[in-house]
Amino acid sequence: MEAQPRDEKLRVVATLPDLADLARAIGGERIEVETLARPGQNLHAVRVKPSHLVALSKADLFLQVGLSLEHAWVPGLIQTARNREVLPGTDGFVSAGEGFTMIEVPVTLDRGQAVDVHPLGNPHVNLSMNGGLHMAERVRDGLIRVDPEGETVYRAGFETWKRRQDEARLRWSKIAEAIAAQHREACLYHREFDYLLGELGLPIAAFLEPRPGLPPTPSHLADVIETVKTDRIPVVLTAPWSNNKNCAHVARATGASVLELPVMVGGGEGQMTWIDMMDRSIRLIAEAYGVDVEAALAEPVGADKQRASRP
């Protein structure tokens, strides 16, 4: 059935540029999207602005990752905006990460042990290769709930996006095989990239933060330096908002390099979409580990397993 035209565009407000990108890809010209967080901004420390309140007060649909990623500022924002259409539990409120298979779910909660405590597990699902499809499905479903007359538009937009994502997943799988075949480990400042590194076959040997959100002590940095040396880890991975002076210290002491990865769409040159961002991050990680990316892309998927099985 053909979608019924709207008198005015559906107003969507998203916490992250990543969610805004997915909404635009799915909703096209039928919607308008406003993003609250700036690319590269620390999502645990977003300051609510009057413009945020105005946007949310007029929104038909609100998109967040959820899973406590934006818990420091979204509840207060929603309460102050007083828009009943986007309250939690309504059709206009979407937690796009809800239902994702989480990692690092704490067995017990002790807020005295860390600053960034996430009771549901690691909330950075927007930086997972598997996270894009999961979030896109929930964005699609949210658009359909608040605008059922546009269902055909939203389903078609989603399928077009999914085809691009499937093509990207093929690229990522080939690069992941080449990285995993090296049997190397990783060192991180914080825990933003834990999903992605697991998907790339890179076990994490060390974190610069002794606990999430806590800065490293000199003794902890000494332990990290020893691990990086012993395991011959070539790079320290970090995000734009992390304390990169400590990363530089570890790099100087070990001969490793520091690689700052994007954490949101728009956080670097040529990263206009979620797929672009993931393409760039995966390529940068692969190159940091000495992978010939073009050679890896030329291989068929499963080439490493095929070679390993030959007599």
Q: Note whether 278 and 287 are within 8 A (CB).
A: no
The one-letter code for the residue type at 170 is: L
Q: Identify the pLDDT of residue 231.
A: 97
Q: Give the residue ranges of the chain where pLDDT is below 70.
A: 1, 109-116, 268-271, 303-311
Q: Identify the pLDDT of residue 304.
A: 61
SS (H, E, C) 142-171: HHHHHCHHHHHHHHHHHHHHHHHHHHHHHH
Q: Identify the pLDDT of residue 112.
A: 59
Q: Are strands 93-95 and 186-188 parallel, antiparallel or unpaired?
A: unpaired
Q: Identify the pLDDT of residue 309.
A: 47
Q: Identify the pLDDT of residue 310.
A: 47
Q: Identify the pLDDT of residue 4.
A: 75
What's the CATH code, domain 182-309? 3.40.50.1980
Given 3-state DSSP classes, what are the helix, strand and coil percentages for the chain, each rounded to the nearest 5?
45, 10, 45
Query: Is CATH 1.10.1060.10 correct for 10-164?
Result: no
Calpha distance 262→281 (Å, rounded): 7
Domain map of the chain by residue range? 10-164, 182-309
Q: Identify the pLDDT of residue 20.
A: 98
CA distances from 85 to 62, 304, 307 (A): 9, 51, 56
Identify the three-state secondary structure at position 102. Answer: coil
Q: Identify the pLDDT of residue 147.
A: 98
Calpha distance 129→134 (Å, rounded): 10
